[in-house]
Structure 1
């Protein structure tokens, strides 16, 4: 029970750090405020997500002969902490293209650290919590992080007049502190995976139909993340003043929905994906159909998308935790995450090419992809 509480606390702090350094809100505002080229903003989410996914197949091969997963997790968490510190120094010292490039380089390093943590923490979660409890564990952590994020965001909104110039620095420093506290909380947890004869093989994941179906469906659901920057970029105004509102909306979404998503996922991860996908689709339709750019409407739509994305994350995490066991689960996660990283880069490049030449918003295409994602969940085998 003590280890479970430590892990919940650590996951909560980690999710808090993720919310505060989100590519969809904080980093978008950051690049705009320092005068970085607009094209850099379009690459934030693909770099953030694919950078955390692409290396996982290589990490999973490395882990085949290194059973102590907590050591790799610690290295990954330290890397993330130093990366955000690099962003802070870049913002303080430079501006324009150079500052933007340093932020992107730091984001690549942040994503690599997150990659190691994302892969190994699943073994730690599976070790501490049994099937039927893991979705709730993820949900509780997301809810706690939502509460703490609101505690940070609300004062920034209320005192926006006097704090505007320091909002970004406050958020970055809070993120660094959250990563450090995560490392401290989870440090006592040690997880060793029994590999048996599997350690002699190079890569032995069971490439059955389940893996390919999961990759295909999950590859469509990445649009719940890719579409997010459009909900902020469409609103003209002072991004430093808008940032706390969007952070607050994302945190409120985590606070209100995560435990519910966790309980639904413990019953059926497939159902979680379907419901959350439908909500993401509704938010996209709202963005396209509602002809107003008021901050209230934008924040509400972003809130709905954040609720949906929390469901997508909980659903696919719980599915990957429950559908396989042991190191087979580690390799499924590693292989599928690397594949999703490639898919993210492909979609990012596609939309970068299409956006300037299309006579309509690229969000229409993204909404269509989300609809297809919902439909294709029928091909996934039941994980329970």
Structure 2
């Protein structure tokens, strides 16, 4: 039975990762807005909305989960919302392509649907950790995440290659096909993981307690909404992870620096991201099972190299740009695997849920703050904002030394 659960979990995580890659805020959605004729400022908000929208609600959701042990029900609802959101984005693209909707209006619909998608992702991101922890033991979870990412990389690459080869004949329908397939994969993920159920021990009142004890416990839960106590590990993790968000924030600059048609660029960048996931995920998983801190350090160094390459290169070569984006994608895969494995291993049970929930909400706020900062700095700086982002990544690498060992 456990093996069957593990297979279903790997398949579901692989499908979910595939859908995420296809609807990426770093590749597909920028190309989508460009093709719609949406204002350029909307592109700068894709990553902050995608990431912060998935993170901000998690603290409140954590309080809800304190009295709800069946985490799989919340995960199912979140996955259904994501499938619906992608279908909404597809509808906006169809209307814009038929001139039934202006580029500005279609872009706003995309941003709104992306916000809704991120809320669904929020519910799934928080609750899937408990599903993973139930199915895989400590020391196996990084490999499980890496295996799923590798499978999704193979599938995404298989999709990107024909899109690249036949891009001349698929320009009008390529984005529609990617969006339609992504919505279907989200739905398939829901079907695949439906039988997986998890019940987490929560701090509910045990049978046999008197009414005064129950009332006191209820008051404690209410007060905890305003007074949450964590040990220093949580705050250190939030600080370090907050700096590592730059591995995602910097990605659109690799896409936007090129002047070619977005439809021509999209298959190349999707392919580069998929190939990076395919080649690196198993390695990242094995390294993370040894040390998640080391994983973050190595991945951060690779992201820094990619940023430096972008800054020092004056070439308009698409091959060089794709190669740098490939390196950045490998680095970002390592950052994701490292911080996921760290959060899985450093705490247990409800403490793990609260670590994930509150750190994710904090990261959502940090993303919005950085997004606003860079949006304000870009027009006034006499140099590329990527210099600032590269410095932040360098600082992130150094601060991993403050993280306690998780194994």
Structure 1 moving runs of 4+ over 6 Å: none
TM-score, normalised to structure 2's length? 0.93
> Pick from 10, 16, 25: which aligns with 2:12?
10
2-structure distance, mates of 1:348, 1:330: 27
2:192 corresponds in structure 1 to 185
2:249 corresponds in structure 1 to 226
1:275 corresponds in structure 2 to 298
> Pick from 250, 257, 260: which aligns with 2:283?
260
Q: Per-residue displacement from partner, 1:40-76 (whole Å, max 9, x unpaired)? A: 0000000000000000000010011111000000000
- CA distance 1:318–1:206, shift in 2 (3 Å): farther
Where do residues 39-54 of structure 1 align in structure 2 (5 Å cutoff)? Answer: 39-54=41-56
1:374 corresponds in structure 2 to 397
- CA distance 1:125–1:205, shift in 2 (3 Å): farther
Where do residues 1-384 of structure 1 align in structure 2 (5 Å cutoff)? Answer: 1-93=3-95, 94-197=101-204, 200=218, 201-202=221-222, 203=224, 206-384=229-407
CA radius of gyration, larger in: 2
SS at match of 1:340: helix
1-structure distance, mates of 2:77, 2:261: 37
Tell me the C-alpha RMSD between the 2 structures: 1.1
Q: Per-residue displacement from partner, 1:216-255 (whole Å, max 9, x unpaired)? A: 0000000000000000000001101110110000000000
1-structure distance, mates of 2:102, 2:78: 28
Once the two structures are TM-superposed, the CA of residue 197 in structure 1 deviates from its matched residue by: 4.0
2:213 corresponds in structure 1 to none
2-structure distance, mates of 1:220, 1:226: 11
Q: Where in structure 2 are there 5+ consecutive unaligned residues?
A: 96-100, 206-216
Once the two structures are TM-superposed, the CA of residue 95 in structure 1 deviates from its matched residue by: 3.5
Once the two structures are TM-superposed, the CA of residue 196 in structure 1 deviates from its matched residue by: 3.7
2-structure distance, mates of 1:152, 1:312: 25
Q: Per-residue displacement from partner, 1:149-190 (whole Å, max 9, x unpaired)? A: 011110000111111221111110111111011001000000
Higher mean Cα deviation, 190-199 or 92-101? 190-199
SS at match of 2:69: coil
Q: Per-residue displacement from partner, 1:259-308 (whole Å, max 9, x unpaired)? A: 00000000000000000000000000000001112111111000000000
Higher mean Cα deviation, 200-209 or 295-304? 200-209
TM-score, normalised to structure 1's length? 0.99
